[in-house]
Amino acid sequence: MLFSRTAVFQIDKMSGVKALQEAFEAWKAEVEDAALLRQGLANKAREIETLNVTLKLKREQTAKLRHQVNEQVTLIKDLQEKLKDQESELEQLKLSPLKSPTQFLIPPPRGLQSMVEELKQKGAIRSLRVEEAMLAVNRAQFCVDGIANPYEDNPKPIGAGYYTATPNVIARALDVLQDYLKPESKVMYIGEGSGYILTLMAAMMGQPAPNSVVGIERSSSLSQITEQSIRKAGYGHLLDEGAICVTWGDEPDMSEPDQLYDVIYIGANDVALPDRYLDRLKNGGRMVSRVWASGQPPQWQTLDKDQNGQITRESIM
């Protein structure tokens, strides 16, 4: 069949239009796909933005929590330091001289202050613990009532024909015992009668436990003088609480027979040798005693028992 030129032209025209239409439809589909892709990208962008905001909030919350944790750590450290300081203060309080209830607002008498100052100048008092104890415990209350110059550095009557030791001797003995006088220590004192040294040692222990300070006198009259003097000085609560126990008898067995002591102080004038008391001294403990020798003046000694039970003697006055 033969077609005219016009017919051929029209056929070509129709083919071109169809091709254009197909191309347009393809482009339209691509445009729609691109729009969907852009929409998807926009959605992803919004999701990323939301995640960034959330991440920023989480970071801020983490930073805030970290700051709070640091504050808590600092607070805990401060509390630990305060606790350490309080424990140190408590330890110092335990080792500080115990005052009678009536002495917290009353300064020491002027004569007592002068006595302590004189002992410091003589070198008898060499530590703050001994000084504070001797200022806290008033020597005048352990002498007979009305005696003149109770603070002189010489023996003073306590009643029943007995005398208290000199402050110089007492201070030097306390100086060599101070490391052994702790709140948990066990102390035995064998008799000077007035209770002065007994109370000084209890005061240096700070807060002695019940039955920790035992005084043994040679007679019931001396034990009564001891208790009366302790109460007169304002330390009767130590007797009532059982921290200080006063008994009498000729042997250390008058105290608890199985009790060993960190400190034994022998102040009685008629004790020839302290050896019979050594079995009551703990390993690691210290005894202070006056030792008498024929024709010789009495000598004050420390007798230290080491952890193996060996004894070392040293003169101190």
How far apart CA 293 and CA 313 sit, in angstroms, is: 15
pLDDT tens for residues 27-80? 777 777 777 888 878 788 788 888 888 888 888 888 888 888 888 888 888 888
CB 108 within 8 A of CB 135: yes
How far apart CA 54 and CA 139 sit, in angstroms, is: 79
Report residue 12: phi and psi, to 5°. -60, -40
Are 26 and 44 within one domain? yes
Total domain count for the chain? 2
Are 187 and 298 within one domain? yes
How far apart CA 251 and CA 280 sit, in angstroms, is: 11
The reported pLDDT for the residue numbered 248 is 82
Are 131 and 250 within one domain? yes
Count CB-CB contacts under 10 A for residue 214: 22
Res. 196 pLDDT band, cuts 50 70 90:
very high
For residue 96, pLDDT beyond 60: no
Q: What does pLDDT average to over the chain?
A: 81
pLDDT tens for residues 201-252? 999 988 888 888 998 887 888 888 889 999 998 889 999 988 999 988 765 5
The reported pLDDT for the residue numbered 267 is 79
Report residue 316: phi and psi, to 5°. -120, -20
Are 200 and 290 within one domain? yes
Q: Which of 11-25, 107-121, 188-202 has the highest mean pLDDT?
A: 107-121
Domain boundary residue, one of 69, 95, 121: 95
CB 163 within 8 A of CB 250: no
Q: Say which residues have a Cβ less than 8 Å from residue 157's Cβ, sequence separation at least 6.
A: 143, 144, 147, 163, 164
Are 115 and 217 within one domain? yes
For residue 95, pLDDT beyond 90: no
pLDDT tens for residues 125-159? 999 999 999 999 999 999 998 888 899 999 899 88
The reported pLDDT for the residue numbered 257 is 59
The reported pLDDT for the residue numbered 279 is 87
The per-residue DSSP string of 136-198 comes to: HS-GGGGS-TT-S-TTSSS-EEEETTEEEPPHHHHHHHHHHHGGG--TT--EEEE--SSSHHH
For residue 260, pLDDT beyond 60: yes
Are 130 and 38 within one domain? no
The reported pLDDT for the residue numbered 231 is 92
pTM of the model: 0.67
Are 63 and 107 within one domain? no
Domain of residue 171 covers 101-315
- The SS3 assignment for 262 reads strand
Res. 167 pLDDT band, cuts 50 70 90:
very high
Cα R_g (the chain), whole angstroms: 47
Are 5 and 59 within one domain? yes
How far apart CA 123 and CA 109 sit, in angstroms, is: 21
CB 277 within 8 A of CB 287: yes
Query: Which carries the bigger pLDDT value, residue 309 or residue 249?
Result: 309
Question: How is the beta sheet containing 281-291 ordered, strand by strand?
Answer: 244-248, 213-217, 187-190, 261-266, 281-291, 299-305, 311-315
CB 153 within 8 A of CB 118: yes
CATH number at residue 265: 3.40.50.150
What mean pLDDT is predicted for residues 259-270? 82
What mean pLDDT is predicted for residues 156-175? 89
The reported pLDDT for the residue numbered 94 is 47
How far apart CA 158 and CA 147 sit, in angstroms, is: 10
Are 73 and 182 within one domain? no
Are 83 and 110 within one domain? no
Domain boundary residue, one of 25, 60, 95: 95
The reported pLDDT for the residue numbered 250 is 62
Domain boundary residue, one of 71, 95, 119: 95
CB 260 within 8 A of CB 280: yes
The reported pLDDT for the residue numbered 282 is 93
Are 275 and 141 within one domain? yes
Chain-centre distance of CA 300, in angstroms?
A: 34
Are 192 and 218 within one domain? yes
